[in-house]
Structure 1
Amino acid sequence: MTQPAVDGPVQHTGEPAHPDRPLPLPAEMKAVQQPGHAGTPWRKAAVIAAAGIPVGLLWWLLAPSGLNLLTRNPDLAAGTNTSTWLPRDLVLAGLCLLAGCIAGSFVAGSKHAQPAPGTVILVVLAGAAGSLLAWGTGLLSAQWWGAPADISASASVAFSLRSYAVLAIWPAAIALAIFLNSLFPGSGGTARS
């Protein structure tokens, strides 16, 4: 009696082998091949970039020479006061840092499933797009709902951003959050037996 040649280990499932039916996969491989995971990085990137709209609205609502809800100081309400220019940029910097940390922890995964390098690049680029969208939304909000400003003395009198380096904070915070999660993975996820 001869046995058929087998190229790999034989798995016995208790069911007779059928040529049209594929062999059952282990549980870990089934989790990777579940439908619906293919578009997840793109959806996360879209959510991160779209978050720039509420961040830009918050920047205009909170910042000095915007609606100034953060300080409510009437001396900081006008852009003609040069002491409003730095706090205005710092409000956007803080909002971008917060948004980047939240987005980075949203994408970072668990200690069992780190994001792929392509996903990291995609979400960092989405953070840059969100930062630009926040800047544009803040400027547009100031044009629509803010008081007109006489910018003959300086363009910074109008609601604007003086330090463009602030726009790099959001993508940098995403990259840093993902990096720190890969260095110090938490106990996210349960141990499999």
Structure 2
Amino acid sequence: MTQRMPRRSSGLQWAWFAAATAGGIPVGLLWWLLAPGGLNLITRDPALGEGTNPLVWLPRDLTLAGLLVFAGCLLAVFITDKSRRSRQEDLVLALAGSLAGAAVAWQTGMFAAQLWGAPADTSINASVAFSLRSLPVLLLWPAATAIGTFAFSLLTLLRQGPEGTAGPVGRDAASGA
């Protein structure tokens, strides 16, 4: 007689991958809306509105970097939700999805610039067009997700105490105080 082990639905696990990947679309649109060289809603400075100004390139990359870190922290909060049991498979799929989501955000922002932005003459430099000069920025979303998940999990373990009770941290168990 064979004994069957109950399997967890893999659809819920893949939901983390799909949600993180699909999250790249609004992040990319926000990048184009907020960044200098895009619609430039943060500064609204006309001097920073065009990509021909080299001073635009770093803030444009940093805008995407900030959005990706925020998205990673938000994903970490959802992964470490206390109402459900956290699983390693969820984290791995969320990290893979966040890497894919960062790439989707990058491409969505560049596509939005092509659709709604002014045409750019890239004969001087390719960075004149709305683009990302520093590709390692795309690693910030999975990094923020991993670090945030680690921090939330560590804080949860510290809050539970050494025996897994919900006791306060830092009290001396021998003195009872």
Check whether TM > 0.5: yes
Contact 2:110 2:131 in 1 (8 A): yes
Relative to its length, the structure with more helix (as a share) is 2
Name the aligned partner's letter for residue 126 of structure 2: A
Question: Partners in 1 of 2:22 and 2:128 — Cα distance?
Answer: 28
Q: Deviations over 1:16-59 (max 9, x none)?
A: xxxxxxxxxxxxxxxxx7x9854222112211110100000000
Partner of 2:47: 75
Across the aligned residues of Structure 1 and Structure 2, the Cα RMSD in angstroms comes to 2.2
In the TM superposition, 1:1-193 aligns within 5 A as 38-110=10-82, 113=85, 115-185=86-156
Count of residues paired in the alignment: 155
Contact 1:89 1:166 in 2 (8 A): yes
Question: Partners in 2 of 1:39 and 1:162 — Cα distance?
Answer: 36
Query: How far apart are 1:118 and its partner, in Å?
Result: 1.9
Q: Deviations over 1:100-134 (max 9, x none)?
A: 10011101132973x22222111100000000000
SS of residue matched to 2:156? coil
Contact 1:50 1:130 in 2 (8 A): yes
> Mind listing any 5+ residue stretches in structure 2 that lack a counterpart?
1-5, 161-165, 167-177
Question: Partners in 1 of 2:101 and 2:112 — Cα distance?
Answer: 16
Q: TM-score, normalised by structure 2?
A: 0.81
Once superposed, which parts of structure 1, at least 4 consecutive aligned residues long, lie more than 2 Å away?
Answer: 35-39, 109-113
Q: TM-score, normalised by structure 1?
A: 0.75
Q: Identical aligned pairs, as a percentage?
A: 50
Question: Partners in 1 of 2:64 and 2:46 — Cα distance?
Answer: 20
Name the aligned partner's letter for residue 45 of structure 1: F
Which stretch shows the higher mean deviation, 124-133 or 171-180?
171-180
